[in-house]
Structure 1
Amino acid sequence: MGRITRIAFFLIWLIPFQGKAQGVIQWASKLDFQYNQFGDVEYSGNEALGEPNAKPYGSINPRAFRMLKEASFGTLVVTFANPQAINHLIVIESHLPGRITEIALIDTKEKKNVIHKANSNAVNEPYRALLIPVPTTNYLVRKIEININSISAPGWTQIDAVGICQADVKAIAKELSRFGDFDLDVEVTFFSEKKNLGKNINTNFVETKPIISPDGKTLYFHRQNYPDNVKGEKDDQDIYISKLEASNWSKAVNAGSPFNDKYPNGIGSVTPDGNTAILLNAYDEKGNISPGVSYSKRLRNGWSAPKKLEIKNFSNDSDYQDFYLANNGRVLISAIHRKDSYGDQDLYVSFAVGQNQWSEPINMGPILNTSRPEFSPFLAADNKTLYFASEGHKGQGGSDIYYAKRLDETWKNWTKPKNLGTAVNSKDWDAYYAISAAGDLAYFVSTQGAMGGSRDIYSISLPSEFKPEPVLLVKGRVLDQKTNLAIEAEIIISSLPEGNEEGVANSAPYSGEFQLVLPQGKNYSLRASAPGYVSVEQNLKLEHIDEYKEIEQTLYLAPIEVGQTVVLNNVYFEQGKSILLTDSYPELDRLATLMKENATMTIELGGHTDNQGIGKSNLELSEQRVQVVKQFLVSKGVESKRVSTKAYGGIRPIAPNTNEEGRAKNRRVDMTIISF
């Protein structure tokens, strides 16, 4: 998955059989060319053939290739006995890794294909297995050329073995376990070149901080000192917006008030529903600013004035600040400088603890943070993959983009940050990385090749190995069940069966449209609520999804008026019995609350079954079940006389009984408002 994975290996002693493929990996069998080897036998290019054998790894060993001098250039070209198509290349760097600067595949026609370029850098590991993914080749690989440069990072770098294969990372790791305890370092390799987004987005002025909507169709970004800014070229920074139209970005326009004013303006993130924007600076009621962050809500005719996010004990000792709100609306990541920072800007996390109330920022720890600035955080839709820029981790230039994976709920335990490589990072300044929910395209800022020597926004296709975990993008509308008109509603996202709140979304006031992102691995409920309406809940099962998906979901709200009927979607019983399951309690608790808030309302509970079985038995079962629901409401303080019951058995289906999906919908309890 494009990260350094620590794998516990059992050491198995083997008799090396040079040149013969073992398992999924084929090891090089013949030396075609070498340059600058230390010796003709020991330390020679021939020692890079066959299976790994330069034990103990991490120390100088005559059974591995090394160059004549600690600071020099070297080349190896090795041949494979059985040319094959591949999707991975493995290089065992048995001592002082990180000095390989270029690797090329050579096919059976001697055509060379460069698949890896990097700067020469010492890495922290004393040895490693460097794994480089490539798109499965449509040619047979016969040779591998490896170029080494230890001049800028002197040391006795050594290569013990070179392998090729067509297999997944798990199978490769399993086979490598036969040779020792390796850090399997999966190289970040992009198979396409970065693309400048063109003149509708980029100018000779600085463009920075791209924020892409989850569906990939709206781009927000900043322009600095641009003539169309509110104060013209004297205006440090304004927010601009562009729309994707027929595969092309529209000409970017100034976002206008209230996003942009006389101050330097910036946008940290936009919620998946597109209805809340996180803005740099803390605004007061008069529009004055101070260090911090604010939010703005979409209205029927524009956006609300920015309102300060209330973060406990917030402070920032840096002149710079960055913020990103996670898609679930419950996690806020900051790039600020505080007393417990490791150096300059550090990455911090705060959690929602109430309505516009946030916990004190917590430093995200030394795995991510260094003595130099870390900034431009972006948390992918999976809520685990974090992209950020750093000047402190070893990279290609002044500022590089990295990513790391969250390992637990402390938000301090991460995989080692991984540099995104030379396809994204240059020797200049690179930062502000963002991706859509689908994870197919990334957007970032670079000075390399920018118009007028400024900074431009680029995009690049992500290889599958480095996409975040797949998510579900839910698009839909909230509508009035009676009139079919749009409703502005709050949508609460909860995990099932625990009932823990996982996030909040809002439907647009003018269209009822909403959009939200759900990570895999859980089942969820969506509950829409609005004043004057009965809340409804829909369940979504996401325990097992293996690719990004988009679905449409319409949520209907029933107005609180006589004659309206609402299906209680999440009321469950033991199969064939009237024993209420605990998963039903949240739904029935909400109904009890609704009854108590509307003291004059009376309802009928209707019990329904499918058409399977004996009609009389179905009628009895449905009567027993609605009686159990009534007893629950009474136990919560609802007067018994306000709740009547009616058993319908299978005579009122709402879906065909010809399949299990339809029959499941027909087995239900609903609520009809009798008087109000």
Structure 2
Amino acid sequence: MGIRIFILLIFISLPSLAQKVKWASQIISVSSEYKDPLLGKEYRALHALGRPSKFPKMAASPSAWQSMTPDSPDGEYLLVGFDTTMAVKQVAIFENSGAGSIISVDGLDQNNKIYPLRAFSPGYALSSSQITYIRLPSKTSFKLKGIKISFNSLRVKGYSQIDAIGISDSDEPIENSLKLNSDANAFQARENLGNAINSKFNEICPVVSPDGQKLYFTRWKHPDNLGANKNQDIWVSNWQPDRTWSKATLYPAPINNDENNAVCGITPNGKTLLLNNVYGKDGTMEKGVSFSFLLRTGEWSFPKALKILNFKNKSEFSEYTLAPNGKLLLMTTETKDTYGGKDIYVSFLNADDSWSEPKNVGPVVNTGEAESTPFIAPDGVTMYFSSSGHVGYGNNDIFLSRRLDDTWQNWSVPENLGPIVNTPQWDGYFSVSAKGDYAYFSSTENSIGAEDIYRIKIPEKARPLTLIQLTGQVINQKTKEPMAARIVIKAKGNPSDTLSIDYDPYVGDYSFMWPAKKAFTVQIKKAGYFSKVEHFDFTSEKNFLQVNRNFFLQTVEKNKAYALANISFDQGKADLKPGFEAELEKVIAILSDNDQYTLLLEGHTDNQGDWNDNLKLSLERVENVKAYLVSKGVNANRIETKGWGGSRPLANNFIEETRKNNRRVEFTIKTVE
């Protein structure tokens, strides 16, 4: 399906209005709801909650409440509640189809007292799909807690549907809060990527790598594709120094085979591809998703299927997207528990390399309609997806939603990306790089042949969070050679927000991306070496930034004394000075990673003052260091302490500039006997 794009980019946002519009947030009671054992939660009463799904082009939809039977002689009712009580001036009922069956609407106050708001005579509906308003001459004398809508379903032949129920404290029409308004500061033109990428055949499903350096897409029925049927194959293009894309090349086997192939995502370091389908050794394909890893030879491994626990999918299709940490998968699938059609689910990587049972990301994103083509941006927060179940232009539109916490079940209200991206036709697939400057998509509008790949510059409101990319090597300080190591990145103030990388110099530099708004630490760990911890703060950065940083590790030599570089003391004092923690983290890491090591702490002073007082002071200094290490989990039995007073100076004691270097604590790594 093509994505039609207009010349001007208009980002959609909901206006900030003085009126308070509240949407029904809970079902208190309902007479009946439509159920079908072959469906999920389509047509259930829960779809009458929240904002409307079919607006402004209202039509019958599974994302609306529908009674169990179309024409019930006993009548039907729907009682909904609101999360905020308020005096109201108007009520808006979005009747998706079969409008005209409402007989009365009553208000419910905080004490569950019922107040009649309006009775409806037969024939009140002007069309089969409409917004039915109740406008009161003044605000209600009570604070409204709920709305009860009663129906005579015999008035209108066939099913009637309720999509949403809104209340407001003003005269301004509630529908105004849903209007799709243009942003005058977001004008941009689309750009066809030209003959290097596009041909007279179909180019679809673009995925840009997080660093923006590679563009993967699928070509269908191209004569250079593999196999007799020339099914979908993966092609790739590289971003060149002259700021153009290179001529696309066919990806080699085993990534491509005679069946349908597509890239779903790629990790920030470019070394792991997420591929649609499960690859059989005999060339056959099954439903699912696979990983392929870049080998030291420069070739790609045979795709390995991801084991997703209790994965089920009633739909013929499914799409996948990988979070930048490589430990989380978003997917579309259809089960008996979906809100309607395909929903977006989340799965987490387990310690045994399996993936957890998928969880629905919730009704803020998922609707009674089918959601599809999710793409999680490199910031790990911003998700783009396609749906026809939110306020839009007609068929499936592309929306943006941002993750609100680490459960991946709480999301911001989806925002329509506007008419440059969305059309009255089906629109899907939206891929952005870490820079967040351009989006890539397919379109038939003014294409070279069939569907082509285009890009547009993204307005600031629709961009992912600003990212920092760190790249470089871990280097042996003595030999100056790169070496394998473990890299652990942690958000300051939130230790559970972590990213781990096993760096292997044989496959290139390490690379990771991190949201600029989060200050973080990077710890480099390797058995037999001092851990290195560095602190980074890019919270003032507004644009994507690439930082090259090499980390040098020092070998731990047993039975050799080391001065703690950042553990110094004021004259005559034993208190640890601010900034000591980073240095002691190295010691803690060594003892944590090497059970066979013990630690000797030796305290020193300068030569100022009484000899006996200095001896006591040196012991106090090492005891303070020991106490801190024990408080962080180091067994006290692994730490031996000695104090030498001023008997072992490291530097000249004649002047303060050098004398201060003698006020120190040294540590020696020893092997357990």
Quickly name the TM-score band, shorter chain normalised: 0.5 to 0.7
**Residue type of the partner of 2:576?**
S
Q: How does 1:75-474 map to 2 (within 5 A)?
A: 183=177, 187=181, 189=183, 190-231=186-227, 233-283=229-279, 289-302=285-298, 303-396=300-393, 398-452=395-449, 454-474=450-470
Greater CA deviation, 454-463 or 230-239? Answer: 230-239
What is aligned with 1:578?
576
Task: Report the alpha carbon displacement of residue 368 of structure 1 after superposing the two structures with TM.
Answer: 1.9
Structure-2 separation of matches of 1:459 and 1:410: 32
Task: Report the alpha carbon displacement of residue 588 of structure 1 after superposing the two structures with TM.
Answer: 5.0
State yes or no: 1:591 paired with 2:590. yes
Structure-1 separation of matches of 2:623 and 2:264: 52
> Secondary structure of the equivalent of 2:550?
strand
Change (3 A) 1:674 1:188: farther
Change (3 A) 1:125 1:4: farther
> Secondary structure of the equivalent of 1:230?
coil
State yes or no: 1:504 paired with 2:503. no
Q: What is the alpha-carbon root mean square deviation over aligned residues? A: 4.9
What is aligned with 2:83?
none
Q: Does structure 2 retain, via aligned residues, the 8 Å contact 1:330–1:502?
A: no
Structure-2 separation of matches of 1:225 and 1:426: 26
Q: Does structure 2 retain, via aligned residues, the 8 Å contact 1:205–1:226?
A: yes
Q: Could you say which structure has the larger radius of gyration?
A: 2
Change (3 A) 1:559 1:362: same
Aligned length: 507
Task: Report the alpha carbon displacement of residue 536 of structure 1 after superposing the two structures with TM.
Answer: 2.8
Q: CA offsets per residue over residues 396-422 of structure 1, 9 Å max, x none? A: 464332112233444333333222222
What is aligned with 1:552?
548
> Secondary structure of the equivalent of 1:354?
coil
**Residue type of the partner of 1:320?**
F
Change (3 A) 1:58 1:10: closer
| 1:477 aligns with one of 458, 473, 490 | 473
Change (3 A) 1:644 1:401: farther
What is aligned with 1:540?
536
Task: Report the alpha carbon displacement of residue 319 of structure 1 after superposing the two structures with TM.
Answer: 1.7
Alignment identity in percent? Answer: 33
Q: Does structure 2 retain, via aligned residues, the 8 Å contact 1:499–1:586?
A: no
Structure-1 separation of matches of 2:211 and 2:604: 39
Task: Report the alpha carbon displacement of residue 327 of structure 1 after superposing the two structures with TM.
Answer: 1.4
Structure-2 separation of matches of 1:217 and 1:647: 59
Task: Report the alpha carbon displacement of residue 545 of structure 1 after superposing the two structures with TM.
Answer: 4.4
Change (3 A) 1:490 1:639: same
Task: Report the alpha carbon displacement of residue 192 of structure 1 after superposing the two structures with TM.
Answer: 0.8
Structure-2 separation of matches of 1:666 and 1:442: 59
Q: Does structure 2 retain, via aligned residues, the 8 Å contact 1:444–1:457?
A: yes
Change (3 A) 1:500 1:508: same
What is aligned with 1:104?
none
What is aligned with 2:50?
none
Structure-2 separation of matches of 1:376 and 1:570: 51
Task: Report the alpha carbon displacement of residue 301 of structure 1 after superposing the two structures with TM.
Answer: 1.2
Q: Does structure 2 retain, via aligned residues, the 8 Å contact 1:2–1:186?
A: yes
Greater CA deviation, 293-302 or 528-537? Answer: 528-537
Task: Report the alpha carbon displacement of residue 328 of structure 1 after superposing the two structures with TM.
Answer: 2.4
What is aligned with 2:46?
none
Q: CA offsets per residue over residues 47-85 of structure 1, 9 Å max, x none? A: xxxxxxxx96889xxxxxxxxxxxxxxxxxxxxxxxxxx
Change (3 A) 1:583 1:434: farther
TM-score normalised according to structure 1 size: 0.62
Change (3 A) 1:451 1:646: farther
Q: Does structure 2 retain, via aligned residues, the 8 Å contact 1:608–1:667?
A: yes
**Residue type of the partner of 1:282?**
V
What stretches of structure 1 of length at least 5 have no aligned partner? 12-54, 60-121, 128-176, 659-664
Task: Report the alpha carbon displacement of residue 493 of structure 1 after superposing the two structures with TM.
Answer: 1.9
Task: Report the alpha carbon displacement of residue 240 of structure 1 after superposing the two structures with TM.
Answer: 2.7
Q: CA offsets per residue over residues 88-124 of structure 1, 9 Å max, x none? A: xxxxxxxxxxxxxxxxxxxxxxxxxxxxxxxxxx999
> Secondary structure of the equivalent of 1:430?
coil
TM-score normalised according to structure 2 size: 0.63
Structure-2 separation of matches of 1:546 and 1:126: 45
What is aligned with 2:55?
none
> Secondary structure of the equivalent of 1:245?
coil
Task: Report the alpha carbon displacement of residue 459 of structure 1 after superposing the two structures with TM.
Answer: 0.8
Q: CA offsets per residue over residues 463-508 of structure 1, 9 Å max, x none? A: 2233233222222222222222233444222222442242233445
Task: Report the alpha carbon displacement of residue 211 of structure 1 after superposing the two structures with TM.
Answer: 2.0
Change (3 A) 1:464 1:288: same
Task: Report the alpha carbon displacement of residue 253 of structure 1 after superposing the two structures with TM.
Answer: 1.6
Change (3 A) 1:370 1:205: farther
Structure-2 separation of matches of 1:405 and 1:237: 32
Structure-1 separation of matches of 2:485 and 2:229: 41
Q: CA offsets per residue over residues 330-373 of structure 1, 9 Å max, x none? A: 32110122221222221111223324232211112233223333
> Secondary structure of the equivalent of 1:248?
coil
